Amino acid sequence: MVSTKGYMAGLRVGAGFAAATAVLGLTFGAQAHSLGWGVLAPIAASVLVFSGSAQFSMAAALAGGGGLGVAVGAAALINARFLPMGVAAADAFKGGRLRRAVEGQALVDASWAAAHLGGGRFDREKMIGATLAQFPAWVLGTVVGVLVAPPPDVVTRFGLDVVYPGFFLLLLIDELRGEPAARLVAALAALTAAALVLVLPVGLALVGTAAAALVGLRAGMPA
Amino acid sequence: MSTLWATIVVVAAVSISLKAAGPALLGDRELPAWTSGVIAALAPALLTGLVLTDVTGPAWSHLDWRLCAGLGATGAAYLLRAPLLPSILLGVVLTAGLRALI
């Protein structure tokens, strides 16, 4: 029987995400190259930042004439969700503060969600394995995007923009199966996100969505 | 250093710090008991937010019914016990097909 826990399970689930990650990386590389970033800067951004949403926000802010402050602010807002995600998974990581800070770099949306065991517990090895599978795909996708520079509509034309929300949707379905309290939380989170994203940047809307988790207190989420 | 490179370096530092903060500062602390229910609920809450904001985009500017149809097919196939990857592929093909036709 194939294990659903540990590094190998993480590598397997990360490999599933890797194709989508590579396509997104390709899109980022092509977009950054078209904005005059050259070859090295987009690749360095993908290696150093390793966050698609933050990199796209940074590129859009710079392209829109915003300076360093605007670009950093946009990227920070979109990545603010890593704070509650890191708090949730904090006790899964091992060692002293420096080691936990390094291991915390495995916090990637898909890895974090896939590593959730239920009840607020996380599989550290699965999260790290899933991220190890996605990192090279992200960087390689960026390299190809910079060098090949495909047309900007390649993602939408081939329906590839379904892949990321699709994976998140299926992980959500797994979370909701057999857990009525989680369904209530998800319903409230949907309403909260739908309203907040109208008036706030996506990153802040996500942080606000996390507040729906407070309902878990009243709804009796199993700890 | 150009503005571009300075931005990349600072954004990288901010991103690394945000990811490191929770594990580094709270990993060795015993959190109050009441927090466990909140933490357990974070996954469904954030996953819902990620799906919804991916679909809507900023200020609902990216909403596309063909994407929603593809996602609906993906979810329905998975609920009917189709494996994960074929479920995703169904949504991709349906969305691409709808965009090609309409």
pLDDT in tens, A60-106: 888 877 888 888 988 888 888 898 899 999 989 999 999 999 999 99
Q: Which residues, in sequence order, are bridge partners of residue A118?
A: A121
**Residue at A83 is within a domain:** yes
Residue A223: pLDDT above 60?
no
Residues A76, A136 share a domain? yes
Determine the 3-state secondary structure of A116 from DSSP: strand
Tokens for A63, please give them. 């392209």
**Alpha carbons B67 and B95: distance in angstroms, whole number:** 6
Determine the 3-state secondary structure of A122 from DSSP: strand
Task: Tell me how many domains chain A contains.
Answer: 2
- What is the model's pLDDT at position A86? 93
Residues A217, A117 share a domain? no
Q: Which of A170, A172, A199 to mutate to test the interface with B (most CBs of B within 10 A)?
A: A170
Residues A20, A118 share a domain? yes
Question: Of A41, A75, A183, which is closest to B15 when you measure between CB atoms?
Answer: A75
**Residue at A170 is within a domain:** no
**Residue at A27 is within a domain:** yes
Give A23 to chain B, closest Cα distance, Å: 13
Mean residue pLDDT across chain B: 91
Q: Chain A to chain B, count of Cβ pairs less than 8 Å apart? A: 303
Q: What average pLDDT does this structure show over A37-59?
A: 93
The pLDDT tens digits for A102-158 are 999 999 988 998 999 988 889 999 999 999 999 999 999 999 999 998 887 887 898
**Residue at A127 is within a domain:** yes
pTM of the complete model beyond 0.90: no
Are the Cβ atoms of A109 and B99 closer than 8 angstroms? Answer: no
- What is the model's pLDDT at position A154? 80
**Residue at A169 is within a domain:** no
Residues A199, A149 share a domain? no
Among all residues of chain A, which has the CA nearest to that of B12? A49
Residues A154, A107 share a domain? yes
**Residue at A166 is within a domain:** no
Are the Cβ atoms of A82 and B18 closer than 8 angstroms? Answer: yes
Measured between beta carbons, the chain A residues lying within 8 angstroms of B94 are: 159
Measured between beta carbons, the chain B residues lying within 8 angstroms of A85 are: 22, 42, 46
**Residue at A167 is within a domain:** no
| CA torsion through residues A165, A166, A167, A171, sign | positive
The pLDDT tens digits for A173-198 are 988 987 788 898 899 999 999 999 99
- What is the model's pLDDT at position A221? 63
DSSP summary character for residue A152 = T
Q: In this prediction, does ipTM exceed 0.95?
A: no
Residues A101, A207 share a domain? no
Q: Which residues, in sequence order, are bridge partners of residue A121?
A: A118
Report domain extents, chain B. 1-30
Are the Cβ atoms of B8 and A44 closer than 8 angstroms? Answer: yes
**Alpha carbons A15 and A152: distance in angstroms, whole number:** 25
Q: Note down the domain range covering A100.
A: 6-160
Residues A216, A145 share a domain? no
